[in-house]
Structure 1
Amino acid sequence: MGLRDEIQADLAEALDDPEGLADAVRPVAGIRTVKGSYDPNIGGTAPTTAIRYSARGVFDSYLAQEIDGSRIQTEDMKLLVLQNEVFEERDGVVSDTPATPKIGDHISDFRVLNVSEDPAQATWIIQLRK
């Protein structure tokens, strides 16, 4: 087991632990709308597909020193999710490989502004705005 797997296992355990973070963990539902290719057979438009994904995560606010008023605003939220728990669902089929949230997605009534990962590549750190 590599370092990344160990970190993810430890974090998953902390998220499940009633004496740990279990009370802060919330279900996360994300959606991305993807425009398809131009299709003259459906009125000359490009159809859209909704890609959904779900996980569990911990929502947090930004520290005062992180808020600059433009890139990060006081209402912005920070979301931490384990990378190995984010799975896409497309046309009713759940992928067997973890997915990556993207800028422009919508997660739990918020819009994704930024997606980064920790140095061990175990968690996604997602900036959200209403």
Structure 2
Amino acid sequence: MGLRDDLQADLADAFDTDLADAVTQFTGARVVGQGPYDPITETRPTTTETYTGRGVFGSFSLRLVDGINILATDIKLTALQSEVTDTPRVDDAINGYRVIGPISQDPAKATWVIQLRKV
């Protein structure tokens, strides 16, 4: 196993033990397109993709809050990258929040750091 695999295994173990009370399962969803036009309802149904994972929902450091890009009410989701079933994208919905960009990952590519804002 490489260093990244070791780090991801250690983080997964910490998520299961030391951080278990702070870790939350989440579901993400994104609209990927529209279906065929329905002449009866005169609408086009949307098609969505979902993904799952688990992570720690927290807040941003006060020094990062600028009131424009990062609001005091924004949520910081740190998700274990190896357990997220798809790459999060801007405008996805996660547990009632909207993903705000950019989405970053740590240098070891073990976790996603995702900025969320209440819908």
Q: Indicate which of 88, 91, 94 corresponds to 1:107.
A: 94
Which ranges in structure 1 are unaligned for 5 or more consecutive residues? 88-98
Q: How many angstroms does 1:84 deviate by?
A: 1.1
| Structure 2: tracts of 5 or more residues without a match | none
**Which amino acid is the alignment partner of residue 5 of structure 1?**
D
Q: In 2, are the aligned partners of 1:53 and 1:86 still within 8 Å (CA)?
A: yes
Normalising by structure 1, we get a TM-score of 0.81
Give the residue type in structure 1 aligned to 2:63.
Q
Number of equivalences = 115
Matched with 2:15 is: 15
Identity over aligned pairs, percent: 50
SS in 2 for 1:126: strand
Q: Given the two structures, how large is their TM-score scaled by the length of structure 2?
A: 0.88
* Rounded Cα–Cα distance in structure 1 between residues aligned with 2:20 and 2:80: 14
Matching of residue 82 in structure 1 with residue 80 in structure 2 = yes
CA RMSD, Structure 1 to Structure 2 (Å): 1.7
Please give the alpha-carbon distance, in whole angstroms, between the structure 2 residues aligned to 1:46 and 1:4.
44
* Contact persistence 1:29–1:53 (CA under 8 A): yes
For 1:16, give the aligned amino acid.
D
Q: Which runs of 4+ in 1 moved over 6 A?
A: none
Say whether residues 1:73 and 2:71 are aligned partners: yes
